[in-house]
Amino acid sequence: MDPIIIILIGTAVVLFCILVLRLHAVISLLLAALVTALLTPPELIYGFAISTGMGEQEALKFSQVSLGKRLGVAFGNTSGKIGILIALASIIGTSLMRSGGAERIVRGLLRVLGKKNSSVALLFSSFTLAIPVFFDTVFYLMIPVIKSLGIKNPRKFGLYLMAVIAGGVMAHSLIPPTPGPLFVAETMGIDLGVMMIGGIGIGTITILAGYGYAKWANMRWDLPMRSTPDISVEELKKVSEVDNKDLPSLSLSLLPVVLPIFLITGNTFSKMFFEGKTDLTVTQESITTIFSVLGDPNIALFISAILAMYLMWSREKQFDHFKKYIYEALTSAGMIILITSAGGAFGQMLQQTGIGIRIQELSANYQMAILPMAFIITAIVRSAQGSATIAMVTTIGIIGGIADAGLAFHPVYIALAIGCGSKIFAWMNDSAFWIITEMSGMKEKETIRHFSVLLMVMALAGLIAIMIGSKLLPFA
Question: Higher confidence at residue 165 or residue 187?
Answer: 165
At residue 350, does pLDDT exceed 70? yes
Confidence category of residue 315, pLDDT binned at 50, 70, 90: confident
Question: Residue 239 corresponds to which amino acid?
Answer: V
At residue 402, does pLDDT exceed 60? no
Q: What is the model's pLDDT at position 365?
A: 54
Distance CA 264, CA 148 (A): 25
Q: What is the pLDDT of residues 238-290, one digit of tens each?
A: 888 888 888 899 899 989 988 988 898 888 788 878 877 777 888 888 888 89
Q: What is the model's pLDDT at position 405?
A: 53
In a domain? residue 387: no
Q: What is the model's pLDDT at position 406?
A: 61
Question: Higher confidence at residue 288 or residue 399?
Answer: 288
Q: What is the model's pLDDT at position 156?
A: 95
Distance CA 131, CA 261 (A): 11
In a domain? residue 369: no
**Closest to 105 measured CA to CA, from 147, 137, 133, 138:** 147
**Closest to 93 measured CA to CA, from 423, 419, 251, 326:** 326
In a domain? residue 353: no
Question: Residue 87 corresponds to which amino acid?
Answer: A
Question: Higher confidence at residue 234 or residue 369?
Answer: 234
In a domain? residue 328: yes
Q: What is the pLDDT of residues 105-125, one digit of tens each?
A: 888 878 887 878 899 999 998
**CA geometry: angle at 409 spanning 403 and 413, to 5°?**
70
At residue 475, does pLDDT exceed 90? no
Q: What is the pLDDT of residues 62-97, one digit of tens each?
A: 999 999 999 999 999 989 988 998 899 889 988 988
Distance CA 43, CA 27 (A): 28
Q: What is the pLDDT of residues 359-390, one digit of tens each?
A: 767 655 554 578 998 899 899 888 887 888 88
Output phi, psi for 351, to 5 deg: -65, -40
Q: What is the model's pLDDT at position 317?
A: 76
Q: What is the model's pLDDT at position 367?
A: 46
Least confident of 126-140, 203-217, 247-261, 266-280: 266-280
DSSP string, 330-366: HHHHHHHHHHHHHHHHHHHHHHTTTHHHHHHHHHTT-
Confidence category of residue 462, pLDDT binned at 50, 70, 90: very high
Question: Higher confidence at residue 87 or residue 394?
Answer: 87
283 C-beta neighbours (distance < 10 Å), count: 8
**Closest to 422 measured CA to CA, from 359, 369, 374:** 374
Burial of 181 (0-12, 13-18, 19+ CB in 10 A): buried
Q: What is the model's pLDDT at position 403?
A: 52
Q: What is the model's pLDDT at position 160?
A: 96
At residue 34, does pLDDT exceed 50? yes
Question: Higher confidence at residue 315 or residue 60?
Answer: 60
Question: Residue 232 corresponds to which amino acid?
Answer: S
At residue 298, does pLDDT exceed 70? yes
Distance CA 188, CA 35 (A): 37
On average, the pLDDT of the chain sits at: 88
Q: What is the pLDDT of residues 412-451, one digit of tens each?
A: 999 999 999 999 888 888 888 999 999 999 999 999 999 9
Average pLDDT on 354-358 reads 79
**CA dihedral for 183, 184, 187, 193, sign (positive or negative):** negative
In a domain? residue 56: no
Question: Higher confidence at residue 343 or residue 207?
Answer: 207
Q: What is the model's pLDDT at position 115?
A: 76
Distance CA 118, CA 112 (A): 9
Range of the domain at 332: 79-340
**CA geometry: angle at 86 spanning 83 and 49, to 5°?**
40
Confidence category of residue 129, pLDDT binned at 50, 70, 90: confident
Distance CA 83, CA 243 (A): 36
- Beta strands (DSSP E) in 164-294 are none
Q: What is the model's pLDDT at position 373?
A: 87
Confidence category of residue 103, pLDDT binned at 50, 70, 90: confident
Domain count along the chain:
1
